[in-house]
Structure 1
């Protein structure tokens, strides 16, 4: 479609509009500044000179202690009788928590609260019902088994990790592959009772 020429009135109006327009003044772009310098750590102080005493050898400086590597929760931290009783279904859980129907975040909060209660009350075995893991032949991605898949990481990074002696699969009478036993260490507070 071609442009039509402006009429005399339109041309006069357009000329007045153009005459009234003033160019915008844009602010000058900010000058680039040098990135802030990282704070310089002060040089470590040299160790205090060891006083030399005649006839004596100064005691060696203590070696720095490396923190222990986190132990996997399925490690063999239980004696044989525990594992035997768990595998035969002889151990009765002190309490249980069912995480079915929860989102990952609400399941984590419930598990943390259950662990806190179990530890505070001196319980030894907490049964956690997570739901069965997805079948091998199920189509991926599948929503089933998300809590079961995450629970190991949750427990390993839990604030209660030092209180957990082991995690074992549950006996079929307690849920089988859809549940876990969390075996808690006996606290010193509850040992003396």
Structure 2
């Protein structure tokens, strides 16, 4: 051990000088004071919003992909303005939830084609659907949103799968 040298020379830390006035009187018990950490407030629990990547159980996904599901209700938003389409969607979701429907076919119209000269002129309702459903008062009742099978409208429609009613 006498021949071992440290890799880096570390300078010894000089002992801090403590003023005699700050020392506790002799005979007092030693108390260890720990620094107080600020505890951040608890984060609010996020609302459950249907995510495109979240899957239903395998049976549901297979039946939806094959078009074997018959929707309980259909909502057609053709010919509506953004405001009237939003109001119609909210009212129809409310009715469907109260009736206990499980699958709603939402017809929005096909998205704009990539070669379209005015992509902003078509598909405004279709583009807003995801935001409307996420911010809806019914967002907790929606289990999933999937693209529709060609027999139900293909790219121009969506399936909204509602959660099973509790109770």
In the superposition, the TM-score normalised over structure 2's length comes to: 0.71
Q: Which residue of 1 aligns with 2:132?
A: 154
Pair 70,163 (structure 1): closer, same or farther in 2 beyond 3 Å? closer
Structure 1 residue 97, shift from structure 2 partner: 0.8
- Structure 1 gaps, min length 5: 1-62
> Which has the higher relative contact order, 1 or 2, with Cα contacts under 8 A spaced 6 or more apart?
2
Structure 1 residue 140, shift from structure 2 partner: 2.9
Alignment of 1:37-186 (within 5 A): 64=42, 66-68=44-46, 70-186=48-164
Alignment of 1:8-47 (within 5 A): none
Do 1:129 and 1:178's aligned partners in 2 also have CA atoms closer than 8 Å? Answer: yes
Structure 1 residue 76, shift from structure 2 partner: 1.8
- Structure 2 gaps, min length 5: 1-40
SS at match of 1:142: helix
In the superposition, the TM-score normalised over structure 1's length comes to: 0.62
Do 2:145 and 2:158's aligned partners in 1 also have CA atoms closer than 8 Å? Answer: yes
Structure 1 residue 69, shift from structure 2 partner: 5.7
Structure 1 residue 74, shift from structure 2 partner: 1.9
Structure 1 stretches of 4+ with a deviation exceeding 6 A read: none
Structure 1 residue 75, shift from structure 2 partner: 3.6
Q: Which residue of 1 aligns with 2:38?
A: none
Structure 1 residue 73, shift from structure 2 partner: 3.1
RMSD: 1.7
How many residues matched?
Answer: 127
Do 1:129 and 1:179's aligned partners in 2 also have CA atoms closer than 8 Å? Answer: yes
Pair 141,133 (structure 1): closer, same or farther in 2 beyond 3 Å? closer
